[in-house]
Amino acid sequence: MMFRSAILALVLAAIPGVECAQSTEFREVAFSQLSDRNVAGLGQAALGIRAAEWKHAESAHFVYHFFQSFVAGPVAVEAEFYYGSIARDLARDTAQWERKCHIFIFERPEDWQSFQKRGQLDPWTGGLHAQGELFIVRNPQYKWKGHTLGHEVTHLVIHRFFGNGVPRWLNEGFAEYAGVRGYAAFHRARGFSSRPTSRAVDPARFIPLAQLTALLDYPADTEAVLTFYHESERLVRFLVAAEKRGFGLFLEAIAQGNRMETALSKGFGSRFPSLEVLEREFKAYATKDHAPAD
């Protein structure tokens, strides 16, 4: 899931000047012509909103449902870019996965709100991956689209190639980390200077790792949700920086049901002998350069 204010922050930081190239792969077709017309419950709920106005298209790995092709075309270019680069980063071969992922692209905030109600989503949700389907909002008035799409495509890659055993902090933390990196890489590849950014955690709000890594659901209040995303992203960033290959082994071990300590030792040997040792080092890293908001 994607926190809405994170998207807003990126949108507000917008600088005019970029249009993404249209993919030659993107092909608009009638719904009956789609190679995969199986849409799950949430997808059905989405297609029920302004039902007569949805259009449909495909690219190599995705099926798109959208309202305007000039909005969906650039989504296709980005989605394919993220899917390939994130799977490659995690050393996963996508060639054997033949079924396509459905992406539902909303444009109007009021449509998204009615989808949130129909799907019983948290009101702060700004994008969603659910059982292999993606739901995003793309307001055509914003030049810079933010990293929501990369975030949700990361959830898709985790879901497909690591299964459902990845705990919430690691799933969201990695989606934030890879989504922001992918977004920066996508624009760098098109000649724009763009660097991934990461948010420091307020030391007063730091969530102890024993608690963070055991969370089964999102925290209850909005501030805590933000801290949860930032701290999870920082923890992933910290572990990747400790050893990139080790992080891959750690992720694999966690996905297969290992406890934190076991997975840490598989990924990083004796570097983090306990959660307490990891927390001591990590807390300094996570809260470094924290500046209170005005």
Query: What residue ranges bind Zn ion (CB under 5 A)?
Result: 1, 172, 175
- Of residues 1 and 166, the one with the C-beta less far from Zn ion: 1
Asked if 132 and 154 count as a contact pair (C-beta separation under 8 A), the reply is no
Q: CB 186 → Zn ion: shortest distance, Å?
A: 18
What CA–CA distance (Å, rounded) separates 212 from 9? Answer: 24
Residue recorded with tokens 């989405």: 46
Per DSSP, 274 falls in state: S
CA angle 13, 16, 20 (to 5 degrees): 105
- Of residues 172 and 231, the one with the C-beta less far from Zn ion: 172
SS3 category, 106: strand
- Of residues 133 and 172, the one with the C-beta less far from Zn ion: 172
Q: Which residue is nearest to Zn ion (CB)?
A: 1
Instruction: Kindly give the residue spans of alpha helices, DSSP state H, lying in 59-208.
Output: 69-89, 109-118, 148-162, 168-188
SS3 category, 57: strand
- Of residues 137 and 242, the one with the C-beta less far from Zn ion: 137
